[in-house]
Amino acid sequence: MSSNSSVSSSETNQSQKGESPDAIAETVAASASQTPETTETPETAETAETAETPETSETSKTPATSEDSPSEPSENEDSSTESTPPVDPNAQVRFKTEEDGRLLLILPPESDKKEENAPVAVTWNEICQQLQHRLNAGDRFWQANTSVNLLAFDRLLDARQLQTISEALADAKLQLARIYTTRRQTAVAAATAGYSVEQKAMPSAFQAGTSAEGKALADPLYLETTVRSGLEIRHPGHIIVNGDVNPGGTLIADGDILVWGRLRGIAHAGANGNHRASIMALEMEPTQIRIADFVARAPETPSQFYPEVAYVSPQGIRIARAVDFSKAQFLSQ
């Protein structure tokens, strides 16, 4: 019995000893199979990241920017040079002396052109800077107290801007005397501020000349001010003054002249040769009356004033009471 038990115990011991290597092998194999997975994951991730980083960020981005950057600026530079409009000398503030000795201050026009190569409009701040630069230039060619005629063209100027120009000229010992414009708003602002004004349809129309027959007149120029002595207002249409015209003041219109007040200065209606124009005033005391090429002396001062109309008749310029004047009858002659 003891021998059997010893044998069985030895067998059991041998069986236990034989099973333990297999279990260890299995655990080692399992551990070996797990450790490569854990070690491969960071290696592959790191290698993938390191492989992608130089290829995508360094190799793909850097060469692309280095190769494309030289070509793109060249194309943009070519397009910019092609689209850049040519420099227009008329788009700057200029001084010019006429043959008759007049000093002109020429402003760049405020055009509404939308052409492809049209010059860029000059702003008011740029005009002030250019004017100051011209006045501060060392090569001054004018004398002190020289009168300046401002050519504003179609640029819209208000009373504040006109005052700024006048003050800048005064600092350089120049005097703003007359303003030429094609804008009715600018003409009204200039006349209200006390400057002589000439409104014409064409910028070069300040020179003497007559317009063709049958040309349409400009919109009426309405002034609510007193035309003081020394002021001269020209307009290619009708002039309506809600105020007085003092002695020494001058109104020149291609159309009619209506003074809702006392006319004691010079009035020239139909300046373009229109002999059908007329001059009307509540109190007619003009220094001189002109209609087209007809001239009349100042009438005697009446004892009583009433609205009157001056017109051209076959006998020359006549003055009639407004209640007795028939425009339709006059035009039918």
**In this predicted model, what pLDDT tens digit does every residue of 296-315 receive, in sequence order?**
977 777 778 889 999 998 88
pLDDT at 20: 52
DSSP string covering 126-139: HHHHHHHHHHT-S-
pLDDT at 217: 78
Q: What is each CA distance from 6 to 2, 15, 20, 81, 159, in whole angstroms? A: 6, 14, 21, 110, 132
Q: Does the predicted TM-score (pTM) go above 0.75?
A: no
> Residue 4 and residue 10: Cα distance in Å, rounded?
10
pLDDT at 26: 53
pLDDT at 117: 52
Q: What is each CA distance from 145 to 94, 100, 165, 180, 239, in whole angstroms? A: 19, 17, 15, 20, 31
> Residue 82 and residue 73: Cα distance in Å, rounded?
14
Other beta carbons within 10 angstroms of residue 255's beta carbon come to: 22
pLDDT at 163: 94
Sole residue written with tokens 């207002």:
233
> What is the mean pLDDT of the segment spanning 14-37?
49
Of 160, 195, 176, nearest to 105 (Cα)?
176
pLDDT at 251: 96
For residues 66 and 231, the model is more confident at 231
Percent of the chain with pLDDT over 70: 61
Q: Does domain 210-333 have CATH number 2.160.20.70?
A: yes
> Amino acid letter at 102?
R
pLDDT at 120: 60
Radius of gyration of the chain (CA): 47
Position 56 pLDDT exceeds 70? no
Of 95, 196, 90, nearest to 142 (Cα)?
95
> What is the mean pLDDT of the segment spanning 57-84?
46
Position 174 pLDDT exceeds 60? yes
Position 293 pLDDT exceeds 70? yes
Q: Residue 239: which H helix or E strand, with range?
A: strand 237-241
CB 144 within 8 A of CB 170: no
Other beta carbons within 10 angstroms of residue 285's beta carbon come to: 19
The highest-confidence range among 45-49, 138-142, 322-326, by mean pLDDT, is: 322-326
Handedness of CA 151, 157, 159, 164 (dihedral sign): negative
Other beta carbons within 10 angstroms of residue 105's beta carbon come to: 22
Question: Both tokens of residue 241?
Answer: 């003054």
Which DSSP symbol is given to 245?
Answer: B
In this predicted model, what pLDDT tens digit does every residue of 246-256 receive, in sequence order? Answer: 999 999 999 99
> What is the mean pLDDT of the segment spanning 82-102?
69
Given the DSSP bridges, would you call strands 218-223 and 288-291 parallel, antiparallel or unpaired? Answer: unpaired
pLDDT at 173: 87
Position 318 pLDDT exceeds 50? yes
Position 264 pLDDT exceeds 50? yes
pLDDT at 43: 46
Q: For the chain, which residues make up each domain, given as ranges?
A: 1-84, 87-208, 210-333
Q: Give the SS3 label for residue 117.
A: coil
Q: Give the SS3 label for residue 182.
A: coil
Position 187 pLDDT exceeds 70? yes
pLDDT at 24: 52
Of 88, 90, 95, nearest to 133 (Cα)?
95
Position 31 pLDDT exceeds 80? no
